[in-house]
A and B are shown apart, each in its own frame.
Chain A
């Protein structure tokens, strides 16, 4: 007699991942084994089936991941492993970013350079002199004008519109942007009352937030989006980003120079020590 396999996994594919982890904590370890960091994700409301698709595992890895999770959920019986339906094309080696996505990834580079100088920026925070406050204002202006108005706006007003904005991964990204805006508001208020500690705390939180955020976009979100964009959409995004670049004129260059100045300042200070 052949053993009848059950198909109860289907039910879990439509649940959100935090709920599954809550019910079966070892699932987190299985996900971690495939570099899927849902445990540390702020929102964690992605559906299990979307996570498998978004992370673009190859079919073998995908089957192994699902089997691993099935073993956690049903430790003492064999269950059939469902196949995840995907809209996107399967992974074909290391694919390069499409031109519009590459543009966003290049903008991330400058944001990452800013994030890298934040620890030294915090050390040097000086709210007592006008020169010190001016530097803090310039740092906050980089966050507001370059990272937010120039870069995040491209994502929110243009890129994300190509997708279902109710998707959890997109909502998570927008929540991160909103979180960063909140940090800016708190820093501006703290600067007005010369509260160094609050500025330092918010900058550190911003650093942690953006480090994770940019990594998620570069490594997961943008690649997944690229696999789902049609050629027509790629062309339209490219043209719209180009229009935005024209609208912002020499803004990117101005901030490039600002970050370079910061890096030089901290490097010389470091050498002097």
Chain B
């Protein structure tokens, strides 16, 4: 299956068997998204929904891997999404995260990343921004496995 060696972030893996074996929840899952836009290049860090909010900084892939993303993580929070591997102009992300802390005076920041090593870059951006910011808030990092399992949860 793993004929593709090299970067673990882009290695082909097949979970068809395990992904479908668990029972599906019945009924519609309601979206918990309360804002637009969400991509880090498009958002304004001082938009009203960021003021004093609990904010999620989410790697793009997390939304697809984490089955309970809406009810368990997004609910009650504002969000910004980014890909630390492919996006350009990431200095701008650092400035925006810093502005969340200093200008929007957010309450907390949760950084959701995938287990692949390159995704750590998003956490590094958040840490760099937190260091530059004048205000401190609790920051939690959550590492999500390729099949949506929570591999680690830590305060940074």
What residues make up the interface of A, taking CB atoms closer than 8 Å to B? 92, 95-100, 102, 231-232, 234-236, 238-239, 242
Chain B, residues 66-99, CB within 8 Å of chain A (1/0): the string is: 0000000000110000000000000000000000
Chain B, residues 114-156, CB within 8 Å of chain A (1/0): the string is: 0000000000000000000000111010000000001001110
Q: Is the CB of B153 within 8 A of A95?
A: yes
Q: Is the CB of B138 within 8 A of A235?
A: yes
**Other A-B pairs beyond A100-B138, A231-B138, A235-B106, 19, CB < 8 Å:** A96-B155, A97-B155, A99-B138, A102-B155, A231-B110, A231-B140, A232-B54, A232-B76, A232-B107, A232-B108, A234-B138, A235-B54, A235-B107, A235-B138, A236-B107, A238-B136, A238-B137, A239-B107, A239-B137
Main secondary structure of the interface of A (DSSP, over half): helix
Q: Which residue from B76, B77, B138 sits with its C-beta under 8 Å from A238?
A: B138
Bound CA span A242–B138, Å: 12
Q: Which residue from B77, B106, B155 sits with its C-beta under 8 Å from A99?
A: B155
What residues make up the interface of B, taking CB atoms closer than 8 Å to A? 54, 76-77, 106-108, 110, 136-138, 140, 150, 153-155
Bound CA span A261–B122, Å: 45
21 A-B pairs (CB sep. < 8 Å): A96-B154, A96-B155, A98-B138, A98-B155, A99-B136, A99-B138, A99-B155, A100-B138, A102-B155, A231-B108, A231-B140, A232-B54, A232-B107, A234-B138, A235-B106, A235-B108, A235-B137, A235-B138, A236-B107, A239-B107, A242-B136
